[in-house]
Amino acid sequence: MNQSFDLNKVLRPHILNLSPYSSARDEYTGHVGIFLDANENPYGSVTEENYNRYPDPHQNDIKRKLAPIKNINIERIFLGNGSDEPIDLLVRATCTPGKDRVLIMPPTYGMYEVSASIHDVLIDKVSLTADYQIDVEAVISAITPETKIIWICSPNNPSGNVMKEKDIETILENFSGLVVVDEAYVDFTDSESWLHRLDSYPNLVVLQTFSKAWGLAGLRAGMCFTSKELVYILNKIKAPYNISQPAQQALLIGLDSVAKMTEMVQDILKERSSLCTMLENLSLVNKVFPSDANFLLVKFDDAKAIMDYLLKETIIVRDRSRVHLCEGCLRITVGTKEENEALIESLKKYQQTIVTV
């Protein structure tokens, strides 16, 4: 347990005293009545579906379904417009522009740096080790009195690996700011989620998403789990209606399909193993890095040339060759069996052209 953490000292002072915008749906949360409070169009919508009424600003029906699935109290759930919204809100809530700092560990998800830069927040970078693990001593040494957030992506994007539990524990126990563990890919690993550690660490924030395992990327819906006190703050500073009514309706339907999500995850894991084997059998592949995510980081002799070739074949992968510690690497999302086989066939054709030359 980190006894030195005090949320009030981490938050920007004016955020503590901020009076949030009070929407009409904050003042009346019922579903039945004559609604003359929010200046909505009483005649319906121009579409077949009626979206003339504002959605629940706090997505309570979704949280009530999600809480037992995650085995967490509803008061500890914040839902955002993708995980990018809570990432942005956490920076806005804690960091004074031009003064405070966040710490990231490249290579990692790019939005941590982008959000900090947008708010003119200083960024300290401590590189992961060569095997993409946390350099704990360097992280602890880089902490300053102005450091408000440490971002940890696990499983990490773009390397795909889970960070060591003891390393995250050490940071949580030796830092008086927020430690955010981004678990966007947690459904694809056997490692346990950090959700079960929220009671042990008051400075812990866990991010998850509906975009990957749930297959709902188009809805833009992310999950943030933390203390009820911090959830209250995030609700104070978010946009009034941050998740649309169509998205909320789709999420409610999706949350009834846990078995379907689990089945899709198992299919992806099976294909991940198969794709890894097929890639390792290609001579143009230098290394396929171990993955706990729904993608593989793959090192090639000439990543740019292969990327260009695949684009001509209309097979789109992600070029990570200019990213720190990912030189020569492409990130390849695990597709369907047919998509993966098409990728391998294209790479075999490219490999044959090299041999011919």
pLDDT tens-digit map of 105-157: 999 999 999 999 999 999 999 999 999 999 999 999 999 999 999 999 999 99
- If one counts every other C-beta atom within 10 angstroms of the C-beta of residue 197, the result is 16
> Vertex 287, ends 327 and 351: CA angle to 5°?
95
For the cut 80, the answer to whether the pLDDT of residue 89 exceeds it is: yes
pLDDT of the residue at 1: 65
Co-location of 133 and 252 in the same domain = yes
Please report, for residues 43, 223, 244, 248, 338, the alpha-carbon distance to residue 50 in angstroms, rounded to integers and kept in the order given.
Answer: 9, 26, 13, 14, 39
Q: Is residue 302 part of a domain?
A: yes
More confident residue, 4 or 284: 284
The radius of gyration of the chain's CA atoms, rounded to the nearest angstrom, is 22
**342 three-class SS:** helix
How far is Cα of residue 106 from the mean position of the Cα atoms in its chain?
Answer: 15
Co-location of 159 and 223 in the same domain = yes
Please give the Cα distance from 151 to 134 (Å, whole number): 11
- Which structure tokens are listed for 160? 């795909």
Q: Is residue 200 part of a domain?
A: yes
Co-location of 227 and 264 in the same domain = no
Q: Is residue 328 part of a domain?
A: yes
Please report, for residues 160, 164, 295, 305, 321, the alpha-carbon distance to residue 328 in angstroms, rounded to integers and kept in the order given.
Answer: 16, 25, 16, 10, 5
Please report, for residues 51, 147, 280, 302, the alpha-carbon distance to residue 276 in angstroms, rounded to integers and kept in the order given.
Answer: 45, 39, 6, 19
Matching residue, tokens 């500890």: 76
More confident residue, 32 or 356: 32
Q: Is residue 274 part of a domain?
A: yes
Co-location of 19 and 118 in the same domain = yes
CATH of the domain at 152: 3.40.640.10
For the cut 60, the answer to whether the pLDDT of residue 354 exceeds it is: yes
Please give the Cα distance from 121 to 91 (Å, whole number): 8
Domain end point (choices 195, 227, 256):
256
Domain end point (choices 240, 256, 272):
256
pLDDT of the residue at 352: 87
* List of residues 6+ apart from 149 with CB closer than 8 A: 90, 91, 94, 95, 102, 103, 177, 178, 179, 180
For residue 2, which phi and psi values (nearest 5 degrees)?
Answer: -90, 105
Co-location of 332 and 210 in the same domain = no
Domain containing 315: what range?
Answer: 259-356
Total domains present in the chain: 2
Q: Is residue 15 part of a domain?
A: yes
Q: Is residue 1 part of a domain?
A: no
Handedness of CA 263, 210, 150, 232 (dihedral sign): negative
Q: Is residue 2 part of a domain?
A: no
Domain end point (choices 214, 241, 256):
256
Which helix (DSSP H) or strand (DSSP E) does residue 348 occupy?
Answer: helix 337-356
Co-location of 199 and 220 in the same domain = yes
Confidence of residue 208 (pLDDT cuts 50, 70, 90): very high
Please give the Cα distance from 10 to 203 (Å, whole number): 10
What percentage of the chain reaches a pLDDT higher than 90? Answer: 86
Matching residue, tokens 């590189």: 127
Co-location of 233 and 266 in the same domain = no
Co-location of 233 and 305 in the same domain = no
Co-location of 127 and 212 in the same domain = yes
Residue type, 321: S
DSSP category for residue 205: E
pLDDT of the residue at 34: 81
For the cut 90, the answer to whether the pLDDT of residue 2 exceeds it is: no
Please give the Cα distance from 330 to 73 (Å, whole number): 40
- If one counts every other C-beta atom within 10 angstroms of the C-beta of residue 89, the result is 23
pLDDT of the residue at 26: 72
Q: Is residue 78 part of a domain?
A: yes
| Average pLDDT score over residue span 203-232 | 97
Co-location of 76 and 22 in the same domain = yes
Helix runs in 132-289, H state only: 136-142, 165-173, 228-237, 245-254, 258-280
Co-location of 240 and 264 in the same domain = no
Co-location of 129 and 265 in the same domain = no
